Amino acid sequence: MIEIIPSLYILEGKCVKGENDNETIFDESPLTVAERFEEHGMKKLHLVDIDGVNAGAVVNYHLLEVISEHTNIETDFGGGIYSDGDISKCFEFGAKRVHISSMAVKDKKFFASCIITYGRSKMILSADVINGKIAIDGRHHDTNLDMMEHIDYFYNRGLLYLKCADITRDGTLVGPYFEMYSAILKQFPDIRLYASGGVRNMDDIKQLEDIGVYGVIIRKALYEGKITLKDIESFITQPA
C-alpha cells in the first residue's frame, strides 16, 4: 500500500503553508499537529526547516527532537543540510531519514558518499523539477541539470529513496504530474519514489499507487480539507 505522508513546513517555530511569514495556518505547535497525525494512524512525517533553508544551516533541531521524543512518528527531515556534521546531528536529534536537495547538486560526490556512509535506507534525494530540470536553493535557482541524468547518477551509486516534485504544481491542487512519475519508475524500476505536488484528493493518491509510486507527500490538500485525516485513516486501515 502506498505511504501517505503529511508535510510540515516550519518557519519561526510555526507550521506554515509555504515559505512566507503571512502563510501561517496553525496556531498549534508542530508537536500538536504531529500528534494529531499520529492519532489518525499516520506513521511518517515530512518535516522541512524553512528557517534552515533561508539561513543555509539547520535551525530547528529542537522541534525535530521534540516530535521524535513525544511521538512514534518516523520523521524525514530537511532544510539547510550542507555538511556531514549537519546530517549526523539530524540523526542525533531523532530523524529517521534526511532529504537533501541543493547539496546533492553542488557536491554530488558528497551525497553519493552519504548513501554509503549512512546507508541507502537513511538518505532521500529530493529533486525539485521545472520543465525537466532541477531547481535548488529553496527552489529559487534553476539549473540546466536534467532530472533523469541527476537521478541516474545516484541510482547507479545505490540510491533507494527519491522524492520528486514538479514545482509548477506544488501548492496548486491541479493534480500530480503522473506522466513524470511513470517515466521515472520505468527508467528506475527499483527506486522507492515519493510523489509531491498537486495532489487534490484521494483519487489522485489511488492513481499514484496504481502506477507504482511508493509514497505521496501531501500538504495543501490536507490543510485545506480536500483530503481529511478521516479519509487517510480509512484508506490506511482498509483490508489488504
Q: What whole-number distance in Å separates Cα of residue 2 and Cα of residue 10?
A: 25
Transcribe 182-221 into DSSP letters: HHHHHH-TT-EEEEES---SHHHHHHHHHTT--EEEESHH
Indicate which CATH number applies to the domain containing 59. 3.20.20.70
Return the H-helix or E-strand segment holding 129. Answer: strand 123-130
Beta-carbon contacts of 144 under 8 Å, excluding residues fewer than 6 positions away, are: 133
- Give the number of domains in the chain: 1
Tens of pLDDT, residues 73-96: 999 999 999 999 999 999 999 999
Query: For 94-144, what is each residue's pLDDT tens digit?
Result: 999 999 999 999 999 999 999 999 999 999 999 999 989 998 865 556 678
- Are the CB atoms for 206 and 234 separated by under 8 Å? no
Prediction pTM value? 0.93
What count of other Cβ atoms lies within 10 Å of the Cβ of residue 131? 10
**Tens-digit pLDDT profile for residues 189-201:** 999 999 999 999 9
Q: What is the span of the domain harbouring residue 175?
A: 3-236
DSSP 8-state assignment for residue 23: G
Q: Does the pLDDT value for residue 18 go beyond 80?
A: no
> What is the secondary structure of 70-105 as a DSSP string?
H---EEEEESS--SHHHHHHHHHTT-SEEEESHHHH
